[in-house]
Amino acid sequence: MKWLSVFSDSRQKILELKASKEKLLTLAYHPLSNTIRITADDEKRVFLIGSKGFRKKQTVLQNEYGIRMGQLINEGGQEEHGNIDVYQDHYNYSLHNFPSKATIYKNDDVMAECELPKISKSDNHDLLMLALCWYMTTSVRNPEEVYA
């Protein structure tokens, strides 16, 4: 998988997650309102992004109603390793600089590896990893059967 930067200006950044040539999801980040819009398959969602903590930095993902859907916590103040919780699923992540790559683990099993785009120092990859974990756990990826 690979994150590609499609468009970027001061008001929004648009990125796409691709697996080979197939587009899995589109993420539009609006830094002024701290929102992200995710489009995956036929589902469109809006999430609020917040940061908490001083020593233990947390990036919090809330749905459009303000309910916490997930969080990313950096391990020991390092941005290269940490934990991601989305719904009731728990993941670990690690970032590698050359090439810029992220690996997401669940119970020591590799769940996903993706190439990350080059972004400025003021930005970080937290949103991309939260979006990827959301995509892996959501009903978009694993639809449940509904019986009438």
Q: What is the pLDDT of residues 36-74, one digit of tens each?
A: 999 988 889 999 999 887 777 889 999 989 999 999 988
- DSSP class of residue 143 equals P
pLDDT at 143: 52
Does residue 26 belong to any structural domain of this protein? yes
Q: What is the tally of structural domains in the chain?
A: 1
Q: Which region, left, alpha or beta, applies to residue 66 given φ > 0 means left and ψ of -120 to 50 means alpha?
A: left
Q: How confident is residue 2, by pLDDT bands cut at 50, 70 and 90?
A: very high
User: Each residue of 116-143: pLDDT tens digit?
Assistant: 887 655 566 888 889 999 888 885 455 5
> What pLDDT does residue 98 have?
61
Cis peptide, bond prior to residue 143, ω within 30 of zero: no
Task: Give every CB contact of residue 18 below 8 A, 6+ residues apart in sequence.
Answer: 1, 2, 3, 4, 24
Q: What's the pTM value of the predicted model, to 2 decimals?
A: 0.83
- Domain carrying residue 117: 2-137
Domain assignment present for residue 142? The answer is no
The whole-angstrom separation of Cα 122 and Cα 100 is: 16
Q: 44 in a domain, yes or no?
A: yes
107's CB contacts (< 8 A; 6+ apart) are: none
Residue 12 lies in a domain: yes
pLDDT > 70 fraction of the chain, expressed in percent and rounded:
85
